[in-house]
């Protein structure tokens, strides 16, 4: 499946490989718009084309009942082949990071350098997002003409205001009609797959950066052996005081870390 993309072009001629950005669960390419533009203009490691994708069942990409990582990785391979025609640097956050990892493990020729943000190739048992899906499904869309009305309905199930604002970015209100740009049914059905990671007998020898939030619990010391076993040529770096959405919490530190990795020649 070819995915919807939002592309940031450099002002001048690109001097670095294209970068593909893969968002996390409930996200979209638009979440990365500001950072994508900065990266494209060379504020990180030389001007380059930046391609942010909407994963299937998110944003403006097609919906499908299959929301497993093999399907997501295959979509990324198809999109890179169509948009780049060769290997790309790939940056994936959370669920998008797992999809990017599986892409590197199964279609290694599609990936030049790999950047994984705040996730590890392990199963997570304490991070189920099913309650958020329940809360979104409980919103009476027929009564919504403005996002603020949906925000009120979400408060009981999603008390955190910042998280509600993030989720509501995927609510489209057009012509007095509201709809989620998330295939909540498919995501709910595959929540176990999303929290897990496929058993793949492969390693990726390319250069990888695993960057995580210092205040996040998604990447712990206990996860490092699993990372190194599959991605032996990996740097692991923490962004101080950042949470799971480290690129939003500490954008300058995040870009500095990513830039140092992309600029490195050793």
What is residue 175's predicted lDDT score, i.e. its pLDDT? 86
Measured in whole angstroms, the distance separating CA 60 from the mean position of its chain's CA atoms is 15
What is residue 59's predicted lDDT score, i.e. its pLDDT? 98
Domain that holds residue 74: 5-122+197-263
108 with 134, same domain: the answer is no
> Which of 186, 185, 237 has the alpha carbon at shortest distance from 214?
237
> In the chain, how many domains are there?
2
69 with 175, same domain: the answer is no
Write down the residue that tokens 């499946």 correspond to: 1
What is residue 243's predicted lDDT score, i.e. its pLDDT? 95
What is residue 266's predicted lDDT score, i.e. its pLDDT? 66
pLDDT in tens, 228-253: 999 999 999 999 999 999 999 999 99
66 with 83, same domain: the answer is yes
pLDDT in tens, 30-74: 999 999 999 999 988 889 999 999 999 999 999 999 999 999 999
192 found inside a domain:
no
20 with 112, same domain: the answer is yes
Q: What's this model's pTM, rounded to 2 decimal places?
A: 0.96
Strand partners, 19: 50, 89
115 with 145, same domain: the answer is no
218 with 176, same domain: the answer is no
Tokens of 124: 């997570």
What is residue 161's predicted lDDT score, i.e. its pLDDT? 95
What is residue 12's predicted lDDT score, i.e. its pLDDT? 86
169 with 228, same domain: the answer is no
Contact 121, 112 (CB under 8 A): no
62 with 148, same domain: the answer is no
191 found inside a domain:
no
**In CATH, what number is assigned to the domain containing residue 251?**
3.40.50.1820
Which segments of the chain have a pLDDT < 70? 266
What is residue 170's predicted lDDT score, i.e. its pLDDT? 97
């Amino acid at each position: 499946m070819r995915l919807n993309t939002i592309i940031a072009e450099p002002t001048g001629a690109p001097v670095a490989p294209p970068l593909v950005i893969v968002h996390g669960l409930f996200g979209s390419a638009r979440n990365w718009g500001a950072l994508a533009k900065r990266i494209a203009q060379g504020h990180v490691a030389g001007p380059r084309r930046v391609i942010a994708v909407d994963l299937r069942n998110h944003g403006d990409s097609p919906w499908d009942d299959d929301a497993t990582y093999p399907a997501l990785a295959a979509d990324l391979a198809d999109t890179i082949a169509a948009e780049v025609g060769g290997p790309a640097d790939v940056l994936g956050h959370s669920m998008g990071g797992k999809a990017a990892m599986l892409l590197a493990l199964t279609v290694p020729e599609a990936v030049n350098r790999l950047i994984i943000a705040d996730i590890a190739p392990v199963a997570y048992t304490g991070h189920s997002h099913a309650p958020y899906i329940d809360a979104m499904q409980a919103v009476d869309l027929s009564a919504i003409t403005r996002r603020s009305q949906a925000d009120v309905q979400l408060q009981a199930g999603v008390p955190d205001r910042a998280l509600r604002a993030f989720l509501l970015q995927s609510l489209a209100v057009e012509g007095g009609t509201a709809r989620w740009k998330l295939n909540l049914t498919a995501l709910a059905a595959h929540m176990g797959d999303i929290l897990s990671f496929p058993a793949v007998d492969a390693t990726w020898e390319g250069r990888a950066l695993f960057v995580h939030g210092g205040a996040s619990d998604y990447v712990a010391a206990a996860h490092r052996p699993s990372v190194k076993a599959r991605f032996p040529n990996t740097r692991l770096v923490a962004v101080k005081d950042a949470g799971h959405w480290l690129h939003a919490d500490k954008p300058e530190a995040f870009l500095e870390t990513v830039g140092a990795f992309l600029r490195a020649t050793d």
